[in-house]
Chains A and B, each alone.
Chain A
Amino acid sequence: MSSPMQSLASPFYGPEHEDFRATVRRFVEREIAPHADEWDEAGSFPRALYEKAGAAGLLAIGFPEEYGGIADDPFLRLILCEELAWGGNGGVQASLFSHTIGAPPIAAAGHPDVKQRWLPDILAGRAISALAITEPGGGSDVAGLSTQIRREGNEYVLNGRKIFITSAMRADVFTVAARCGQDGGLSLIVVDAKSPGITRTALKKTGWWSSDTAELVFEDVRVPAINLLGEEGRGFRLIMNNFNGERVTLAATALGAAQVCYHDALAWARLRQTFGKRLADHQVIRHKLADMKMRLEATRGWLEMVAWRLRQCSGKPNAELIAEICLIKNFSTQTMQFCADCAVQIMGGMGFMRGSRIERIYREVKVMMIGGGAEEIMKDLAARQLDF
């Protein structure tokens, strides 16, 4: 496994970025790539990987330093997502980094005791954090969520059902979206997974097999009142801010997967002989590869620009930038879809065989286009931000 070098100059990356890229690449080469097939077939990966990632500092980006975090830099996130893609196992990536959606609301709005209880363990890889928003009755339609919390003395009582929750089988802590009363505003609340009244059921999926996606049922789960994040009923903004980070991450991950598709398809096209010449010498194949490269570089250029703008506004995007984040998420996952399709086509029978990372990436396309905000929702949100 190797990733091609960026040989063209970029205004965005400094020496510490290159050092970090080398670190992630080595981590992936040693800790993930050799096991990518085995873990996907097994439907899981060793829990020890979380602590290894924590020791390398991979879980720390964007969290407060006092809890073991590293100051935010969108380019570090880009590098991380992109390099992880070379491991060729999106499921590992999704679960290993589920805290990047589960834990930011804790860091942003948690009671000091709650932060101290969970953040150091999460960032060191000792505890697994998961975000639980989507329900059988509504996902991207956040307003349709019906999970309830009810205040009783110093506790909240939680009741409801969540679905498609990444890392939910192994998570130690859930960040759950719920509302107080049928018409109450949304809140986020931190729930210890050991609390009585939680049932988890594993779900089988098209892709991301090594990720422990599950359905959760909360029945009269009692949660300390200080675990509520921010004010009761005021969680909507927290949820929306969290989505911005998740969507940039998804865009970078999709770009990384698309790059792997291009790399592997090109390597195969140079090797494979048909009709007396290399696949890469056939015009139909050359043009496919050129189309892949064209979309990759367009996606990269825009995504890096979005990352730069995020850094300029210290991670507090205005409406126009939120619209860009929604659209780059769509654009990048479309690039992944296009490149995965081309790569399987170029690789022919090999691309359809289990054990190739291209086959796996192909199965991971749709979750990228749906998760974190489906394409249609993204367009609509962008339209509203841009005041169409």
Chain B
Amino acid sequence: MKVLVGVKRVIDANVKARVKSDGTGVETANVKMAMNPFCEIATEQAVRMKEAGSVTEIIAASCGPAANVETLRTALAMGADRGVHVQTDAELQPLAIAKLLKSVAEKEQVQLVILGKQAIDNDFNQTGQMLAALLGWSQATFASAIEVAGEWLKVTREVDGGLEHVEVKLPAVVTADLRLNEPRYASLPNIMKAKKKPIDTLTPDALGVDVTPRLKTLKVSEPPARKAGIKVESVAQLVDKLKNEAQVI
């Protein structure tokens, strides 16, 4: 089975994101970027499935500007076999990315797509679902365990009440949740080998996809700064404030 994993380039999780002074978005110039952590989990899952023998080839795909090649190299260092870079400087929203990934999935004739459940920059949590709908494939989101059973996948999903077990027929789109696995650290030899693995470059035009944004961002602002707390004199005063000021009880 061939697998496609999506890898998104986002601001590194350890960097404090700053809003641009004109409020149009988040500053990304001169900021350290890295692979979206949920995409790392998706890549790790594909590599484990290949090591277990249920996957024959892993194709990593990333949509965005030229620097996304670096993120693809990271996926190749973790164990993906080759990369597909859909290169564009345009703003990409979930629907556009889903359409691009659909083209890549069809072109590469994969049977399974594994994506992160969401990206830590925009937190859309939409691409996997839209992709499954566009392809007309099964979908299983928020996976915390995946098991291959012939033509089916047994997927454990993390839901509010506990764990939900579903079976989906292949081909399918699965999105990875936090506890699916702990991504490996790429070994130095594999980082070096990744430099030689092939990466195909495509464009939205060549795939026949219109990536024009459908959503409009009105304004981006910093969350309000946390205010200092106060000390109360008595339990009675605490209860009074919780009830009447904070209105939480």
Q: Write the residues of chain A forming the contact surface with B, with a CB cutoff of 8 angstroms.
A: 2-9, 15-16, 18-20, 22-24, 26-27, 30, 55-58, 60-61, 70-71, 76
Interchain CB contact (< 8 A) of A58 among B30, B34, B188, B195: B188
- Closest residue of chain A to B30 (Cβ to Cβ) is A9
Which of B30, B34, B73, B185 makes the CB contact (< 8 A) with A16? B73
Q: How far, in whole Å, are A30 and B184 apart by their CA atoms in the complex?
A: 10
Between-chain CB contacts (< 8 Å), 13 pairs? A7-B30, A7-B31, A8-B30, A16-B194, A18-B32, A19-B73, A19-B191, A20-B188, A23-B186, A24-B185, A56-B188, A57-B191, A71-B192
B187 contacts A5, C-beta separation under 8 Å: no
State which of B15, B70, B187, B195 has its C-beta within 8 Å of the C-beta of A18: B70
Contact A22 B192 (CB under 8 A): no
B187 touches which of A4, A6, A56 (Cβ 8 Å): A56
Query: Is B81 in contact with chain A by the CB < 8 A criterion?
Result: no
Q: Which residue of A lies closest to B32 (CB)?
A: A5
Task: Flag if A55 contacts B192 (CB, 8 Å).
Answer: no
* Residues of chain B within 8 A of A56, CB atoms compared: 185, 187-188
Q: Could you tell me if B15 and A16 are in contact, using CB atoms closer than 8 angstroms?
A: no
B15, B32, B187 interface centre (most CB from chain A within 10 Å): B187
Alpha-carbon separation in the docked complex, A365 to B102 (Å): 57
Using CB atoms, name the residue of chain B closest to A80: B188
Cα A18 to Cα B33 with chains together (Å): 10
B189 is an interface residue with CB less than 8 A from chain A? yes
Q: Is B24 on the interface with A (CB-CB < 8 A)?
A: no
How far is B194's CA from A57's CA once the two chains are assembled, in angstroms?
14
Q: Given contacts A55-B187, A56-B187, could you give 10 more A-B pairs where the C-beta distance is less than 8 Å?
A: A3-B14, A4-B14, A8-B30, A15-B70, A16-B73, A18-B70, A22-B34, A23-B186, A23-B191, A61-B188
A58: chain B residues at CB < 8 Å are 188
Cβ B15 vs Cβ A7 within 8 A: yes
Most A Cβ at <10 Å: residue of B31, B189, B194: B189
B53-70, CB under 8 A of A: which get 1 and which 0?
Answer: 000000000000000011
Report A-chain residues with C-beta under 8 Å of the C-beta of B14: 2-5
Interface status of B77 (Cβ within 8 A of chain A): yes
Interface size on B, residues (CB 8 A): 22
Residues of chain B lying within 8 A (CB to CB) of residue A2? 14
Chain A to chain B: the 9 pairs with minimum beta-carbon distance, closest first: A57-B188, A26-B185, A15-B70, A23-B185, A57-B187, A5-B32, A19-B191, A57-B189, A56-B187
Q: Which of B139-179 contact A (CB under 8 A)?
A: none
- Residue of chain B at shortest CB distance from A31: B185
| A20 and B30 contacting across the interface, CB-CB below 8 Å | no
Which residues of the other chain, A, contact B190 by a CB distance below 8 angstroms?
57
| B34 / chain A contacts, CB cutoff of 8 Å | 22
Chain B contacts for A60, CB-based, 8 A? 188-189
A329 to B232, CA, bound (A): 56
> Measured between C-beta atoms, what is the minimum distance from B35 to chain A in Å?
9
| B74 touches A (CB below 8 Å) | yes
Contact pick for A5, options B15, B186, B188, CB 8 Å: B15
Q: What chain B residues lie within 8 Å of A57 (beta carbons)?
A: 187-191
Chain B residues with Cβ below 8 Å from A7 are 15, 30-32
A76 to chain B: closest residue by CB: B188
Give the contacting residue for B185; candidates A3, A4, A27, A76; CB below 8 A.
Answer: A27
- Alpha-carbon gap, A27 to B189, bound state (A): 15
The residue in chain A whose Cβ has the minimal distance to the Cβ of B67 is A15
Known: A5-B12, A7-B31. A19 touches B77 (CB 8 A): yes
Closest to A60 in B: B188
CA distance A70 to B190 in the complex (A): 11
A24-B186 Cα distance, complex, nearest whole Å: 9
A3–chain B nearest beta-carbon distance, Å: 8
A22–B77 Cα distance when bound, in Å, is 12
Q: Which residue of A lies closest to B191 (CB)?
A: A19
Q: Contact flags (1/0) for B28-47 with A, using CB distance below 8 Å?
A: 00111010000000000000
User: Chain A residues with Cβ under 8 A from B77's Cβ?
Assistant: 19
Among A9, A55, A56, max chain B CB count under 10 A is at A56
Q: Which residue of B lies closest to A54 (CB)?
A: B187
Q: How far is the CB of B72 from chain A (nearest CB, A)?
A: 10
- Which residues of B lie under 8 Å from residue A55 when comparing CB positions? 187
Chain A CB count within 10 A is highest, among B30, B70, B185, B195, for B185
- Residues in A neighbouring B187, C-beta threshold 8 A: 23, 55-57
Residues of chain A within 8 A of B15, CB atoms compared: 5, 7
Residues of A within 8 A of B69 (CB): 15
CB of B192 within 8 A of CB of A16, answer yes
Question: Chain A residue with minimal CB distance to B77?
Answer: A19
Please name all residues of chain B whose beta carbon is closer than 8 Å to the beta carbon of A9 when the two chains form the complex. Answer: 30
- Evaluate contact between A19 and B74: CB separation under 8 angstroms: yes
Chain B residues in 8 Å Cβ range of A16 = 73, 191-192, 194-195
Contacts of A26 in B (CB 8 A): 185
B residues 58-114 near A (Cβ < 8 Å) are 69-70, 73-74, 77
CB distance from A268 to the nearest CB of B (A): 19
B12 touches A23 (CB 8 A): no
A82 to B70, CA, bound (A): 22
Q: Give Cα A8–Cα B15 distance, bound, in whole angstroms.
A: 12
